[in-house]
Each structure stands twice: as structure tokens, then as C-alpha cells.
Amino acid sequence: MLVSFLAICVHFIDRQADYMNRLDFIWKRQLMAEQEEASTTRTVNKMLLRNILPNHVAEVYLDMNRPHDELFHEEYEYVAVMFASLAGYSLHDDEAGAEEDGLQDDGLGGLKLLNEIITDFDKLLFDNEFHRVEKIKVAGYTYMAACGLEPGRRDSAASHESSRSSSSQGSVQQNTDHTVVLAKFATRMMAVLKALNKDAFQTFNLRVGICHGRVMAGVVGEKKPLYDIWGDTVNMASRMDSTGIPGKIQVLEKTAKLLESQGVKCESRGMTFVKGKGEVQTYFVSVGEDLHLIPQEIVTRKRKFKLNESIDTDDSEFEETAL
């Protein structure tokens, strides 16, 4: 009797242990699946955030310990800002408007084409040469981008983000060619549009305005947060675009001087009325037929000593570097 009872008890304990082991196994599997799902969600969130926000800003937003009501902002002393508008382009959903645009299609065809153009512009951002260029947004038919929005830059004023990473500030190299990089980016956009025009039998043109200087950057909004930049530099870049000429990159005198000092040729446009400034001298960045920036000519006078030792200064040479 006792033996049977003990046997039943042992069997029961054995079954119980077996049950607990199975349960443990199921729970562990469930936990692993949940952990995997959480990791995938985090990766997707990271990818989405990195698509919406610049990398350094996305990192701040992915920090779980960050207070949710904290305003993210940065101040930069030197950022180059570009507004590039598709001149003569507008989407109409009526036939008359579409014909007016030269788009022998309904609004959808125009939208597809606009998407193609913007996507091709976006692809340029993956080019190593333009890794510092940040697309800010597309507003209507205008592509807005900036160069120089780098955390920890030495010339950046204290900001929420950069103050956190102040320890790394000393090791960050300061770039001074943001305006040149952005002007190059604009010429590549022109080249992309030229190729697209050829394929799609269109005649779109890019009207570009660039300005450089101080900007305030920040993220606004809880839903669909937007990283944007503000300030006089941004307003002026927009006005250089709106008062510009299709196929040209217009800049203020201070930006032309900066570009020239860094080897990029600019030509005077003459006086242009710019809201907030009045009549000001503006310049066009010189772009060649091949849609590359024309280098500033560095005249190296070839001093030719003639027999009578007079100096012939007429024979000058131009040094050119590819831009």
C-alpha cells in the first residue's frame, strides 16, 4: 500500500516537474520571441527616425531616458542653406493646367514625375562627397537643404545636444567649406534634372538660392516631428531663390566672397531688390556647360625676362582645379 502510494507520489512529482519544464521552455521561447520583436521594432523605429531626423538628432530621440517634453534645439554660427525650386513646374489636376505645364497627362503623371525628380535628388545625399548635406524638406516644388549641421562643431554655440557630447568636441574637425559643398550639390541636382529632362522629354530648370551664416535648428511638434532651421540666413537663402533666375545659383555678396576665397568663381548680377535688405548686389555662382563649378582663376604671372631684363606680364596662365 505504502509502496503504491509512494509510486503515485513520485509519478505525480515527476509529471509536475515535466509540466514545469515544458512551461519554462514555452515561457523562454515566448520571451525570446518578444525580445526579438522588440529588437525588430527598435530597429524599424531607428530607421524611421533616421529617415525623418538627422542622425545625431535621432540618437537623442531614441534615448529612453530623455524627458519627452524637452525641446531639442541647436544654434550654429556657420551653416550653408539652399533653396532649389523647380522653375516653371506646377501640378494641376485639371487638363488645362496640365497642358499649360507641358505635361500631357493628368495630375498623377505630374506627381509621378515630381516624385522621380525628388527621389533622384535624394540619391545624391548618399554620395560620400555630400554626407554633410542634410535635406530639410520639400515644400511645394522647392528642395531645401543645409550643410554644416553637425553636432559638436567647435563654432556651434552651446546647445542641448552638443552640450551633452561636449567631451567629444575637441576631437571634432571643423569644416569650413559647407558653402562650396552645397553649391556643388546644387550643380549635381542640375545635372540630375538635365538627365531626367532628356529621358522624359521635359524642360525643367532649377533656380537656386544659397546663403550662409547663423541658424537656429530644432525639432517641433509631437506628431510627425519636424527638424527645421530658422533665421535670417534661411530667409535670405529663400529670397535668393525666389528672386533668382532658372538655371542659376544666386548668392549675396558675402557668400560670393566666401566662395571666391575658397576657389569658386562668382559673377556679379548687379543690383537686385531683396525683401528685408532693399537693393543689394547679388552674384551668380559660375557654373560651366558641363554643370560643374568654375574654379576661381588664380593668375600666376609668368615672369619672362627678356634680354633687356624687362618683365613681360601679358603672358599669364590660369591654374584650374577640378571642382
Ligand X SMILES: Nc1ncnc2c1ncn2[C@@H]1O[C@H](COP(=O)(O)OP(=O)(O)OP(=O)(O)O)[C@@H](O)[C@H]1O
Interaction site with ligand X (CB under 6 A): 139, 144, 228-230, 234-235, 238-239, 242, 275
Nearer of residues 149 and 287 to ligand X, judged by Cβ: 149
**Residue 89: Cβ within 10 Å count:** 19
Task: For residue 249, give the nearest of 233, 231, 263, 264 by alpha carbon.
Answer: 264
Work out how close the CB of 224 gets to ligand X at its nearest, in angstroms, rounded to a whole number: 15
Active site residue 239: yes
Closer residue to ligand X in complex, CB, 82/287: 82
Of the pair 49, 229, the CB lying nearest ligand X is at 229
Name the residue with the smallest CB distance to ligand X.
Answer: 238
Grid cell at residue 35:
525580445
The amino acid occupying position 44 is V
User: What CA–CA distance (Å, rounded) separates 295 from 280?
Assistant: 24
The continuous run of DSSP H or E covering 44 comes out as helix 2-52
Inter-axis angle of helices 55-62 and 2-52, to 10 degrees?
150
Contacts of 267 (CB under 8 A, 6+ apart): 283, 284, 286
In the complex, minimum distance from the CB of residue 225 to ligand X, in angstroms, rounded to a whole number? 14
Q: How far is the CB of 36 from ligand X (least distance, A)?
A: 40
Comparing CB distances to ligand X, the nearer of 82 and 193 is 82
Q: Which of 22, 257, 275, 301 is catalytic?
A: 275
- Check if 275 is active-site: yes
Bridge partners for 301 per DSSP: 316
* Contacts with 126 (C-beta within 8 Å, 6 or more apart), sequence order: none
Q: What angle do CA 71, 46, 234 make, to 5 degrees?
A: 45
Least distance (Å) between residue 230 CB and ligand X: 5
Q: Are 231 and 207 in contact (CB under 8 A)?
A: no
When the beta carbons of 27 and 230 are compared against ligand X, the nearer one is 230
Q: How far is the CB of 234 from ligand X (least distance, A)?
A: 4
Query: Per the residue annotation, which of 132, 239, 248, 265 is the catalytic one?
Result: 239
* Catalytic residue set: 239, 275
